[in-house]
Structure 1
Amino acid sequence: MEKYQTLLYYCYSTIENAEQFAADHLEFCKSLGLVGRIIVADEGLNGTVSGTREACQAYMDAVHADERFAKTDFKVDEVDEPSFIKMHCRYKPEIVHSGLRDPRVIDPNKETGKHLEPKDFLEMKDREDVVILDVRSNYEHTVGRFKNAVTLDIENFREFPEKIKELEQYKDKKILTYCTGGIKCEKASALLLKEGFNDVYQLHGGIIKYGKEVNGKDFEGQCYVFDNRLTVDVNTVNPSVVSTCRNCGAVTAKMINCANPECNEHFTQCDDCGWEMEGCCSSSCMEHPRKRTYDGTGYYVKVPQPVNVDKISKRKHKNRPAAARES
């Protein structure tokens, strides 16, 4: 039995003083010995954390004990070693960058697509009146996607709203949206409903939960994840590899980051080309003076920027009424 676990989760729930919450939550995670990446926003939490089984259980218990996050659905992976090297927790405007910040326009707590459990998604996905929609970015669906899924040419989820017009041909269909863990579908499906798509669904728990509960049937390739594993297997029923090496065209499921930090592109590259190209996507990147040392993984640790508590305090003081500051 593996000694470690990796938790993937999110929760849309209003957090007051979210910047201070991020600072406090970082210290709490460190006290448990966890490593990972958490985004905190006024609208909720989005995280992947990793640690011992005991630490992960203590973390889940603490999150569920907070009434704001009691509904959080944790996807739990058993792993041989922690999936991160460091722990960081940052405040951002959104827990997933969509550009849809105004809760008067999009609020997943009020309206979103109908949640489909994996077994129901599996039963519905091949019907003639259904369209499966992948709302993830190019580098994610390139390495793995559902059979017959509609994919979008986007580099980042914030581009999704611009693609709505391309989907109008499917307005008379049932739209089944999916993503890695479900978080992007909350806003994507809400936006589709706002734009006049009447029958919109989302895969509850995303690809990760689908793999755990129905063995990932008909998911082709691997699932991109946002930790040092980069991709994980999902399908144990009819697995396949759908991605090819950027450089030679050989079939490969291996995804890396370009060794040139100013490029840092996510792309698929076979082991032979990886060593020959030193983990770079092109010859020009190979010549870059800041090129990182390739160790065969193509994963490079980003140095996290800690939450600046002093800066938060100064900002709050500045925003207080003048009379209060002078007292």
Structure 2
Amino acid sequence: MEKYNTLLYYCYSTIADAEQFAADHLKFCKSLGLAGRIIVAEEGLNGTVSGTPEACKTYMDTLHADPRFADIDFKGDEVDTPSFVKMHVRYKSEIVHSGLRDPNIINPQQKTGKYLEPNEFLAMKNAEDVVILDVRSNYEHNLGKFKNAITLDIENFRDFPAMINELAQYKDKKVVTYCTGGIKCEKASALLLHEGFTDVYQLHGGIIKYGKEAGGEDFEGKCYVFDNRLSVDVNSINPVVISTCYNCGKTTPKMINCANPECNEHFTQCDECGEKMDGCCSDACKEHPRKRVYDGTGYYVKIPQPVNVAKKAKVQLAE
């Protein structure tokens, strides 16, 4: 059976005319037969792409040949099937949405927390003067997190800045941030430094690189990923399941999206409840007229949603 590769990467590097770059990059990715999701902004790239090993190698070589992207650290997995159905390259104002656009506050190209390579993180993480800070969203750290990590009650990374005051008690500690691949830590650690934290670090390459290079020791549960795999195993040394079924409370590592596309909630659900609830988080979603067919995976290709005019207007005013 033919194998495929899935690449996870990001790069903070100035891209002039990023909107045109996004259009051109989409054509390039399609020419290689890749599928995936890439965000392009003036501040850089954030992507996950999947395709044949040859196509992925050409993609990596091409980006590395561009001086703007020469330092990209690709994290790769071998997969049985492509991790996406379609190829999307979208232009946005940020490659990870923080809601803070003042480069004097957050500019990962100028100032971030000190990088810790996986083995350095492994050696440091249990020290008494170290705080391990998860900067991901609730649904991600509910599925898996580092043992004894501080987690935040946030639905999206843009909620992180509002949580800074809750972290003030750790200003005299060594604060080590982590996320899936490292991209959120670049901005989270920069904001912590701006807010007066003095000894700030970040796990370079995130959970994924730590799993590959240090065995994932003490990462409890599974790691949420933003493709049709939904989650991956990280810990090959002392694995444990920490997540529980949203419906019955039974221990389960399975993460799905609600079968109701107007809900699309990310949540953990055991197979028994998946069959009983038809892949939905609630009875109301189970009865929804637009409910998608549940095939046991809990992953769905996105269905275009009706435009919420009021919400869109609110976002535009906020911007």
Shorter chain as denominator, the TM-score bin is over 0.9
Q: Determine if contact 1:88/1:304 at 8 Å carries over to the other structure.
A: no
**Secondary structure in structure 2 of the residue aligned to 1:94:** coil
CA distance in 1 between partners of 2:304 and 2:62 (Å): 24
Q: 1:2 to 1:122 in 2, by over 3 A?
A: farther
Q: Distance in 1 between matches of 2:155 and 2:213?
A: 29
Distance 1:48 1:184 in 2: 15
Q: 1:100: how far off?
A: 1.7
**CA distance change for structure 1 residues 89 and 247 in 2, over 3 Å: closer, same or farther?**
same
The 3-state SS of whatever aligns with 2:165 is helix
* Inter-partner Cα distance in structure 2 for 1:76 and 1:281: 32
Specify every segment of 5 or more residues in structure 1 that has no aligned partner in the other structure, as ranges: 306-327
Structure 2 CA distance, aligned partners of 1:167 and 1:177?
A: 12
**Alignment partner, residue 124 of structure 2:** 124
Distance in 2 (CA, whole Å) between partners of 1:81 and 1:277 is 27
- What is the CA–CA distance in structure 2 between the aligned matches of 1:72 and 1:153, rounded to whole Å? 31
Q: What residue number does 2:204 align with?
A: 204
Counterpart of 2:98 in structure 1: which amino acid?
A: S
Does the CA-based 8 Å contact 1:2-1:79 persist in structure 2? Answer: no
Alignment of 1:196-235 (within 5 A): 196-235=196-235
In structure 1, what is the equivalent of residue 243 of structure 2? 243
Query: For 1:272, what is the secondary structure of its paired residue?
Result: helix
Query: % of aligned pairs identical?
Result: 78
- The C-alpha deviation readout for 1:128-182, integer Å capped at 9, x for no partner, is 0000000000000000000000000000000000000000010100001000000
For 1:25 and 1:201, how far apart are their aligned partners in 2?
32
Contact in 1 for aligned 2:106/2:187 (Cα 8 Å): yes
Q: Is the 8 A contact 1:36 1:85 kept in 2?
A: yes
Q: Deviations over 1:101-154 (max 9, x none)?
A: 221221001000000000000000000000000000000000000000000000
CA contact 1:34–1:51 (8 Å) conserved in 2: yes
> For residues 101 and 27 of structure 2, what CA distance do their matches in structure 1 show?
27
Higher gyration radius (CA)? 1
- C-alpha distance 58-303 of structure 1, shift in aligned 2 (>3 A): farther
**Aligned residue in 2 for 1:188:** 188
**Which residue matches 2:3?**
3
Asked if the contact 1:2/1:78 (under 8 Å) is kept, the reply is no
Match of 2:23 in 1: 23
Correspondence 1:162-173 to 2 at 5 A: 162-173=162-173
Please tell me whether the aligned partners of residues 217 and 235 of structure 2 are also in contact (alpha carbons under 8 angstroms).
Answer: yes
Cα deviation for residue 304 of structure 1 reads: 7.9
Alignment match, 1:252 = 252
Give the conservation status (yes or no) of the 8 Å contact 1:134–1:149: yes
Q: Which residue of 2 aligns with 1:280?
A: 280
Partner residue, 1:135: 135
What SS does structure 2 have at the residue aligned with 1:5? strand
The answer (yes or no) to whether the contact 2:260–2:288 under 8 Å persists in 1 is yes
**C-alpha separation in 1, matches of 2:302 and 2:288:** 18
Matched pairs, number: 305
Q: Aligned-pair distance for 1:80?
A: 1.1
Alignment of 1:17-96 (within 5 A): 17-96=17-96
Does the aligned pair in 2 maintain the 1:145–1:219 contact within 8 Å? yes
Q: How far apart, CA to CA, are the structure 1 residues paired with 2:284 and 2:124?
A: 47
Aligned-pair CA distance for 1:10: 0.2
Distance 1:2 1:234, change over 3 A: farther
TM-score (norm: length of structure 1): 0.92
Displacement of 1:3 in angstroms is 2.0
| RMSD (Å), alpha carbons | 1.2
Listed one character per residue, the Cα deviations across residues 292-325 of structure 1 (whole Å, up to 9, x for unaligned) are: 11110110101589xxxxxxxxxxxxxxxxxxxx
Give the corresponding residue for 2:113: 113
Hey, what does 1:320 align to over in structure 2? none
Q: Describe the superposition over 1:169-210 as per-residue Cα deviations: whole angstroms up to 9, x where unpaired.
A: 101000010000000000000000000000000000000000
* Whole-angstrom CA distance in 2 between matches of 1:65 and 1:100: 31
Q: Which runs of 4+ in 1 moved over 3 A?
A: none
Q: TM-score, normalised by structure 2?
A: 0.94
- 1:100 aligned onto 2:100: yes
Q: Distance in 1 between matches of 2:159 and 2:84?
A: 28
SS class of match (2:64): helix
Show the 5 A alignment for 1:296-311.
296-302=296-302
Provide the residue aligned with 1:179 in structure 2.
Answer: 179
1:81 shift after superposition: 1.1
- Looking at structure 1, the residues matched to 190 and 234 of structure 2 have their Cα atoms a distance apart, in angstroms, of 27
Equivalence for 2:314: none
